[in-house]
Amino acid sequence: MTDSIAEFNQFRDEMNQLILGAGNLTVNRFFALDGKCYEAGVLGASTKEMLGLVSSLVLRCDDCITYHVIKCREAGVTKEELMEVFAVGLVVGGSIVIPHLRRAMARMEELAQDGKTG
């Protein structure tokens, strides 16, 4: 956990700009699609963010987990609901998920201390 959420977001934004600026049509379309698929449809935005979060957990990607934890909190998902998402991810994905769960927990603490979603 070497960087804060602010640093995470800054690196994310800078690199996204570099990637999109490189002008590869497939890559740019994929990024657009990635944004689109979490917009509310027949399923609400909070459900979709929880789907993104549990997928990130079982695939064990810390950056993706951080991103979806933030988005879940913004969409109104409660801490108790997040724990149930974590529970499904943990049972499906096994103990190998635990280190990522620890870092997800640290991110939730960080969000609470920032006063944004506590």
Residues 48-67 binding a copy of itself (CB under 8 A) are 48, 50-52, 54-64
Q: Which two tokens stand for residue 31?
A: 């990024």
110 binds a copy of itself (CB under 8 A): no
Residues 10-49 binding a copy of itself (CB under 8 A) are 11-12, 15-16, 18-19, 22-27, 29-31, 33-34, 36-38, 41-43, 47-48
Name residues whose C-beta falls within 8 Å of residue 60's C-beta, 6 or more positions apart in sequence: 93, 96, 97, 100
Report the C-alpha gap between 86 and 30 in whole angstroms: 27
Contact of 37 with 26, CB cutoff 8 Å = no
Contact of 61 with 89, CB cutoff 8 Å = no
Binding footprint of a copy of itself on the chain (CB under 8 A): 1-2, 11-12, 15-16, 18-19, 22-27, 29-31, 33-34, 36-38, 41-43, 47-48, 50-52, 54-64, 78-81, 83-99, 101-103, 105-106, 109
